[in-house]
A and B are shown apart, each in its own frame.
Chain A
Amino acid sequence: MAKVPLTFTLNDAEIGVFVVPGSNLLDVLRRGAGDLTPKEGCAQGACGACTVLIDGVPHLSCLTLAEMAEGRRISTTGGLAVGPELHPLQTAFMEGFAAQCGFCTAGMLMSAKALLDQTPNPTRDQVIEAISGNLCRCTGYEPIVDAILTAAAKMQGRTA
């Protein structure tokens, strides 16, 4: 089976890999590019654990045909922190006890980041809408919603 070349930008790094035709982007990111932060929860597009940003907007990497990522700019939780400096969302999730098993967290953070990039001062309902494609089985969602609002406030110099 002939593999095909694929290049894309992953968290500001240029990536070139060879992929099996028909692979999904999630598999390519994890096993091809070695970025293990997006997770596979269903491969059906229903859990959101594989959420990544493509050209700045959230996509489900499990439902993205790898070939269609050619030349695109992909962001994952692996690139969220700047060096040792955590993104305010990460800090807020930590301090807000917004994760238990942690498996949904990377996808949640990507959906939340996309929201705050577009809407720095979201309402609670906007936060809920932004994570509506991301399932969490542990927390009951409330700590996650609170953490995103806290991060937004912090980024705006407010206290939530």
Chain B
Amino acid sequence: MTTVEFRKDLFADERDDTLHEIGKPTIRQDILGHVTGRTPYFDDHLFDGLLHMRAVRSPHHHARIRNIDTSRAAVMPGVRRVVTARDVPVNLNTLLSLINFGRDDEPLCAHDKVRFLGETVAWIIADTERQARDAVAQVRVDYDPLPHVLDVEEALKPGAPLVNEVYPNNTFDYHGKYDHQKLRFGDVNAAFARADHIVEAEYQMSPIEQAPIETCGAIAAPEQNGRYVCHTNTQALFFSLGTTAKLLDMASSRLHFIGGTSGGGFGGKVDSIVEPTAVLGAVLTGRPVRFTWDRYEEMQVGAPRGGERWRIKDGVMADGSIIAREFTGFFDSGAYMRLSPYAIIKAAGHLPGPYSIPNIAANVFCVVTNRTPATAMRGFGITAADFAIECHMDRVSEVTGVDPIALRLKNAYRDGDMKAHRRVAKNTALIECCQVAAGKAGWPLSADLAAMTSLGGGQGDRALIPETATDEEGRIGERRAGRAPDTAPSKRPTGRVAAGQAGQAVVAVPVQNEDMQIEVDRIGHAIAASHGAPVASPAPTYARQAIAPQRTGADIVPPRPAAPPQAAPVAASRAAPPAYAPPSQQAAPSAYAPPPAAPTPPASPQAAPPAEKPYQPDRPFSRGVRKPGTSPFLSGTRRR
């Protein structure tokens, strides 16, 4: 059913494919454990006297807690301890405080009010899980329900219920200045005015559960010497350890976290809630305590990928060139921030998608609502934006009549192009992906589109930072006061940032000492020309299964002659990153020599397909760089 081919012919001159272990289909280190059932997940550790901990959860979206009566629960059979907010030493945290981002806004256990359905208001620790459940059912909480808000744009209105007092505007406050993250590049309003078409639409993604088959959980137990061991399936061992140390006001050296093996995560095991809870239980009882979410909790209480809403407005010329793109985005963070505000910066940096568009504006909001807090998931911050962008590209295609793939290729970003966040694009490969996917599907492309390359960008205005229109709309607090009704980027810019304004790119910290530096001829890619000429193969393909017919593009479209080879200058201009190059080599132009003897047949007009027929790519879709000599690692056969 599935076939996989490795297009070794593409970018072959940037790669050394003769490495020993890299690139080999070595079987997984953990697979024997998986197939024998011996892989130790967090719950596969047995403790004598293990206690079980369960949470009492809010039945309201938003309510003040008047009173919690645990007296009946406390005397239930098997109950060892009732735990409430008072038992949490430091009952306020935000996950990213460990990297100094955001304000502490979330209690481990609610005390004054609950802000979402399912929020923890107390815990029971008992001998069996059933006894803990029975006692949970006997905790009486007196709630005073409050008005709640569940829609991101409703939450931004002046009269909306205030969800979380730490964020009094129902938004994350960015940079102490605005209630959203701005992205400004060029002048979208001026470009809209001269565009042939304006294309607008709104997109939305509902919350999605990470749904690992193993739910979030931890077992904590007293160790020797006043330490606590915690077996956990966290995706971030030190995040969880650090969060536990903070919430329990305990030196991190007293915590011994064991994990590293998780039954799926997909982003849902970053939040570090089960770990401090289990350790708290172990501290309070002096016994091993297991705290794990059941499937209901995993689905409705554990954080999902949050909902998002995006509006896109494009200014487009008749030929399909997109000259301006404006975004208004809303991330539904739920009742607490966790990772959402960070993901919004990630999203803002990602805009406008993989395209070179000269005028960009975006306002992206992180909105607090009375729902389950959101967190990471596979593609965090990007998935919904990409959904919106790529659906929108098809709308633009329809309006302009330009073929969907042609439209993307026309606007695709390439090496050397300036991106909206004011850094130069490099190592791009969008064009080649489009060409290869089209070729595999038999989607026809014109000859000029088929000959495009990611290496050929950065010319003219594409490399420049334009003069940029700015505004100061949406200062913190203005919206709630009714002075900032519009969420979209301003129609009336009040400031200008001069063309060419950009700071320094941030690069990796160099190695601590020279010994940690892998030799440049062993890194396997085009940093320096000091190793032997690279080799390429003619596009090995292997089918996953013998029963699956090997699929090649050749049966769909006729072969074509090779396109002209790419010139060297682009490669020659690339500088070695400080991360790898020893200090002495940093400044040197690190041209990875283009293959000197590549027998590259130049495309001749005669050999080109008849002009009246649409050009269709064949496979391999190289830019004509087919070199002789094949690495033993590129034989195209699956090494089983």
Chain A residues near B (Cβ < 8 Å): 1, 20, 22, 30-31, 34, 36-44, 46-47, 49, 76-78, 80-81, 86, 89-91, 93-95, 97, 99-106, 109, 135-138, 142, 146, 160
**Overall SS of chain A's interface:** loop
**A78 cross-chain contacts in B, Cβ below 8 A:** 36-37
CB interface residues, B 41-81, toward A, < 8 Å:
41, 43-44, 46, 50, 77-78
Specify which of A34, A40, A89, A160 lies most central, judged by the most chain B CB atoms within 10 Å of its CB: A40
Indicate if the CB atoms of A31 and B46 lie closer than 8 Å: yes
Indicate if the CB atoms of A102 and B1 lie closer than 8 Å: no
**A94 cross-chain contacts in B, Cβ below 8 A:** 27, 31-32, 35
Closest chain B residue to A135, Cβ basis: B213
Kindly identify which residue among B46, B213, B266, B547 contacts A39, using a CB–CB cutoff of 8 Å.
B213
B612 within 8 A of A: no
Given contacts A49-B213, A146-B545, contact A90 B263 (CB under 8 A): no
Closest chain A residue to B266, Cβ basis: A137
Closest chain B residue to A136, Cβ basis: B213
**A105 cross-chain contacts in B, Cβ below 8 A:** 34-35, 37
User: Taking the nearest CB of chain A, how far is it from the CB of B40, in angstroms?
Assistant: 8
**Overall SS of chain B's interface:** loop
**A1 cross-chain contacts in B, Cβ below 8 A:** 77-78, 128
Kindly identify which residue among B34, B130, B266 contacts A22, using a CB–CB cutoff of 8 Å.
B130
Given contacts A97-B27, A101-B213, A102-B263, contact A36 B77 (CB under 8 A): no
Indicate if the CB atoms of A90 and B36 lie closer than 8 Å: yes
Chain B positions 202 through 215: 1 when the CB is less than 8 Å from some CB of chain A, otherwise 0: 00000000011111
**A20 cross-chain contacts in B, Cβ below 8 A:** 128, 130
Indicate if the CB atoms of B1 and A97 lie closer than 8 Å: no
Task: Give the docked Cα–Cα distance between A101 and B215 (Å).
Answer: 13
Task: Give the docked Cα–Cα distance between A38 and B474 (Å).
Answer: 54
Closest chain A residue to B129, Cβ basis: A27
**A101 cross-chain contacts in B, Cβ below 8 A:** 212-214, 262-265
Task: Give the docked Cα–Cα distance between A73 and B263 (Å).
Answer: 28
Indicate if the CB atoms of A76 and B213 lie closer than 8 Å: no
Task: Known pairs A36-B43, A37-B38, A90-B36; list 6 more (Cβ under 8 Å).
Answer: A36-B46, A39-B214, A47-B213, A95-B27, A101-B212, A101-B264
Indicate if the CB atoms of A97 and B28 lie closer than 8 Å: yes
Indicate if the CB atoms of B37 and A36 lie closer than 8 Å: yes
Indicate if the CB atoms of A99 and B2 lie closer than 8 Å: no
User: Taking the nearest CB of chain B, how far is it from the CB of A106, in angstroms?
Assistant: 4
Kindly identify which residue among B34, B215, B266 contacts A99, using a CB–CB cutoff of 8 Å.
B34
Given contacts A20-B128, A94-B27, contact A103 B37 (CB under 8 A): no
